Structure 1
């Protein structure tokens, strides 16, 4: 994978902000403009692409930075761009480019991020139902919702003043999730016709960006584990000098490198985005889970203390494996469809 000079500059800028600021989101949003990366320039954004989103996500993942980047700058923004409604989308996209936060309500309590169905229903200009696992839904200034309408799935902007937002308590405290209750909430439809095809593409983009975040988290977890293995001693020697642990570290290194390759393959020119996004989500989920589990084991007792970061990587691995669909679900998308046999 080769980055352009501009992409390398973006990577360095994001990494510097993450390392220098206790809360890096305000400078990343206001000075770097990452909230508007995907938004076209005519709406005040930077007009960047999927690769740039992944670069930012990878750096945020390395430090487990809590931010509305994935939920707002990626998921909600992608949905608005797919809706193709110039008038409404233009106003909302301009607001996001200026720093507002959007959330996309989509899935039900089963956690199935299925682009062919939604948790809520729409009738006329109202939306009803309950959406779960809404990324940054408790902080959002703009609330978008996928709802089943008479003519298929639709994208709506709901009136925030007439919904009930209940923050969840996830295992990963760095990822804000919200349950949102709609009770015949007034809403404006964005775009026309069935939104299912566009929602498939939204999920693919979200999976590709999440995979890059997972690759960044896995790389950092391995770095911390290798550093600790050079300090911790048993039998008068650093544990990192033991042959068996060297082999385990080498295996983890391969996992981290293949995870990064799988994630960034999605944003290569002429890539089969849908297929490669499924591969990336499945492989990066498994890779981060494996690296995080090894991080816990190789750190010993200190890894399960609240003060050490090891448990945070383990929780992030568990949470991201469920987000946008579990690994086995995405693997099933890669299986060839065989015609049903009679009898």
Structure 2
């Protein structure tokens, strides 16, 4: 059993035993908040593969914990673009769970987590319509990574209550310049890899729920799972889940390899160069659609009970729908892949 497998098993057991645990308790008991934080800053010094294992279990449980934005993207941004002072000040707080952070990315309209921000000297203006919830706001603006306190912060109502979003506004808010903002695409791809793992976990749980129901629900004197139509549905979803897991693992592996290359590790010299943007785009496209399909088929297999508020099936469908937009819809990821498939022309 690998470290990732062991970590996933620990997280699954913890979430089953303490589903209402706070982020601070989760960070203290399991150490997930500091998973990607180097040991010198109080973290575990693990990599994207281990983060993917945790993310898959969080997605399976529909956990509201801020792992994606704080433990993955914020830590990734500070490690990629933050200077030594910023890392020393922020990473220990994030690693202990004492603080959470969110990241606002630049973009071209495909990401929810982006803003129309203008950096003038040490003042930030503009708005972020949708951002993941986090106490510390890190933003890529004006070619820099900055830390800013929003002038206004308001909860954004959404059908998916398991993934809280907020609106942020900055009115010439003072900022701390943390470092150059040159690695935002790497931070985005790291987030996509973790999100893809979450989506895989959610899709796998939908398959489990549908299979359990198909075994126990009886019609015409036999389990509905014995009917060919149900068998085909479940077989198709199984193929989607296993393919999504492969895509998510490949994205995490590519992200880990890219991090190793940037640190000039010995491992990178022994392996062929990976393209994290390509693997992230494949995972972002495939895993989002696999989760949507799995969540929809779970409701179909459950029939009438599947569309009631009492059954959790609708919560997975809502998470699947919101996740499919969070770091870019599937079509945006395929557009990123097009030049690699068809050439620049």
> Which residue does the alignment assign to 2:215?
230
> Which residue does the alignment assign to 2:120?
123
CA shift at 1:103, angstroms? 1.4
**What per-residue deviation string (whole Å, max 9, x for no partner) do you get for residues 106-154 of structure 1?**
369x963299x852111111100001221114xx1x221222x2xxx22
CA shift at 1:89, angstroms? 2.3
**What per-residue deviation string (whole Å, max 9, x for no partner) do you get for residues 61-88 of structure 1?**
1110111111111111111111141112
**1:1-343 mapped onto 2 (5 Å cutoff):** 4=2, 6-24=3-21, 25-99=23-97, 100-106=99-105, 112-113=110-111, 118-137=115-134, 140=135, 142-147=136-141, 149=142, 153-159=143-149, 163-192=151-180, 195-196=181-182, 198-268=183-253, 270=271, 271-336=274-339, 338=343
CA shift at 1:182, angstroms? 0.5
Q: Which runs of 5+ in 1 are unaligned?
A: none
CA shift at 1:186, angstroms? 0.7
Secondary structure at 2:252 match in 1 = coil
Residue 295 of structure 1 contacts residue 310 of structure 1 at CA under 8 Å; is this kept in 2? Answer: yes
Secondary structure at 1:230 match in 2 = helix
Give distance in 2, aligned partners of 1:28 and 1:14: 9
Q: Which runs of 5+ in 2 are unaligned?
A: 258-270
Give distance in 2, aligned partners of 1:338 and 1:258: 25
Q: 1:178 to 1:114 in 2, by over 3 A?
A: closer
TM-score by length of 2: 0.89
Residue 34 of structure 2 contacts residue 42 of structure 2 at CA under 8 Å; is this kept in 1? Answer: yes
> Which consecutive aligned stretches of 4+ in structure 1 deviate over 4 angstroms post-superposition?
337-340
Give distance in 1, aligned partners of 2:34 and 2:187: 16
CA RMSD of aligned residues (A): 1.9
**What per-residue deviation string (whole Å, max 9, x for no partner) do you get for residues 245-281 of structure 1?**
1122111101000000110012335532111111011
Residue 58 of structure 1 contacts residue 212 of structure 1 at CA under 8 Å; is this kept in 2? Answer: yes
Residue 125 of structure 1 contacts residue 186 of structure 1 at CA under 8 Å; is this kept in 2? Answer: yes
Residue 159 of structure 1 contacts residue 186 of structure 1 at CA under 8 Å; is this kept in 2? Answer: yes
**What per-residue deviation string (whole Å, max 9, x for no partner) do you get for residues 154-190 of structure 1?**
2111135xx2101011121100100001011011111
Q: 1:179 to 1:114 in 2, by over 3 A?
A: closer
Give distance in 2, aligned partners of 1:129 and 1:338: 36
**Structure number having the greater helix percentage:** 2
Residue 206 of structure 2 contacts residue 295 of structure 2 at CA under 8 Å; is this kept in 1? Answer: yes
Q: 1:60 to 1:128 in 2, by over 3 A?
A: same
Secondary structure at 1:170 match in 2 = coil
Q: 1:114 to 1:15 in 2, by over 3 A?
A: closer
Residue 107 of structure 1 contacts residue 114 of structure 1 at CA under 8 Å; is this kept in 2? Answer: no
Q: 1:177 to 1:107 in 2, by over 3 A?
A: farther
**What per-residue deviation string (whole Å, max 9, x for no partner) do you get for residues 274-314 of structure 1?**
11111011000010000111111111111111111100010
